[in-house]
Amino acid sequence: MVCVLLLSIGSTAQATRTWTSGSTGNWSDTTKWSGSVLPGTTETAQVNNGNATLDASQTIAQLLMGDAAATDVAVLNINNGSNLTVYKSGNAEQFTLVKVSGASGTVNQSAGTVRVYNNSGVVNGGTGETRLVSSSSTTGTATYNLSGTGVLDTDVLSKGSATNASATFNATGGTLVIRNMIYRFGLNSAGGGFNQGAATLEVGAINTVAAISVGNSTNAMDYTVGTGGTINFDIASASSFDSILQYGNYANTAGATLQVDLLNGYAPTVGTTFDVWKFNTMSSTYNNGSGAFGVLPAGWTTSWVDTNADTFNDTLRLTFTPEPATMALFGLGLLAMRRNKK
C-alpha cells in the first residue's frame, strides 16, 4: 500500500507529459505519453516531434510544441469534434507551436473548440495566449490552419516576437474568437502573416460585449478580412457594443460579411450609430480604413469615415437605418417577445 501511495504521489507531482518523439497516433493512446499517462488538468503536454490527433476532449494546463531540438517537426490534428481546453493561471504562453529555435509546428483544426485562457487579467500579450512562435526562439516555422467548423477561442493570438521566425495563421473556415488582442503578425523579416480568410471573427466572447486590439503600441499591425470572411459585432445598447482598436496603417473589409447581434432585447432607434472600429493615430503616419462590406444584415449600413479631418478614414461606423417594412417586422418581433415573457 505504501508503494502504491508513493507511485500515486509521484504521478500526480509530474508537471509535464511528453509525446513519444517521432510517433503518430491518437492523443488518448496512453502509450504515446511519458509515464504511460495522459496529460492532466494541471500538467503541460509537450508534442516536441511527431503527429498527434485529438480524438477525445481534453483539459490541460499548457501545450508546448517543438520544444526539444531544432529538428523537431510537431503536428497536432483536431478534426473529429473533440475539444481542447488549455488553462494555467498567470501563465502568458499557454499554447505555443514552436518553442525551440529552428523547429516546426503545425496545428490543423477543422472541428471542435480550442479554448485558451487564464484569469491573470493581463492584456498586452499575457492573458491566455496562443503564441505561434515562442519569444525565445530566433527561428522557426509555425502554421495554424483553421477550417470547417473549428473554433479557436483565445484571449490573445500572437505571432510571437522572434525576429526571424515565420508564423502564419490561415483560415478557410471556422470561427476565430478573440477576447483581447491579435498582434505581431506580418512584421518580422522572415515573413508569414495573418489571414482571416473565410473565417468568422467574433469580437470578444459570443453574446458578450468586449473590445479587442489589433496590434499594440509597440507592434503596429495592418488588417485584411479576406475573401469570404465575416466579422461579428454584438451590441447591447447605444453605449455598449463590441469594438476594435487598431494600431496600424490600414484595414480592408472589402467583400466581407457583417453580422450584428443585438443582445438582451435591445432595439436601437432609427439613425443610431456605432463606431465599432477605430485606429490609434499615434501608431503610424497615417490610418486608413477602406472597402465596402459585401453582405450586410437587414436594416444596417456601414461606412469608413474621417473623424479628425486629416483626409484618412479612421473609423468604421454602423448605422441602424431599417426600411419601413423591416421596422414594422422588427416591432412585431419585439411585441411577440414581450407576450411570450408574459
Cα(99)–Cα(64) distance, integer angstroms = 7
Q: Which residues pair with 315 in a beta bridge?
A: 278, 305
Grid coordinates of 153 = 477561442
The mean per-residue pLDDT over the stretch 123-136 comes to: 74
Percent of the chain beyond pLDDT 90? Answer: 59
Burial of 320 (C-beta count, 10 Å sphere; 0-12/13-18/19+):
buried
- Higher pLDDT: 51 or 129? It is 51
DSSP H or E run through 338: helix 324-341
Single out the residue of 211, 121, 123, 195 nearest to residue 159, CA to CA.
195
Average pLDDT on 246-266 reads: 92
User: Mean pLDDT over all residues of the chain?
Assistant: 86
Q: What pTM did the predictor assign?
A: 0.87
Is the pLDDT score of 188 beyond 70? no
Q: Are 291 and 257 in contact (CB under 8 A)?
A: no
CA–CA distance, 156 with 135 (Å, rounded to integer): 14
Cβ atoms of residues 75 and 50 within 8 Å? yes
pLDDT digits (tens, 9 = 90+) for 205-252: 999 999 999 988 777 888 888 778 999 999 999 999 999 999 888 888
Q: Could you tell me whether strands 300-305 and 315-320 are parallel, antiparallel, or unpaired per DSSP bridges?
A: antiparallel
Report the pLDDT value the prediction gives residue 221, as an integer from 0 to 100: 83
The model's pLDDT over 290-331, given as tens digits with 9 standing for 90+, comes to: 999 999 999 999 999 998 888 889 999 999 999 765 555 555
pLDDT of residue 283: 58
The CA distance from 248 to 184, in Å, is 11
C-alpha cell read off for 328: 414594422
Q: Write down the pLDDT at residue 287.
A: 82
- Rounded CA gap, 261 and 240, in Å? 12
Contact 294, 302 (CB under 8 A): no
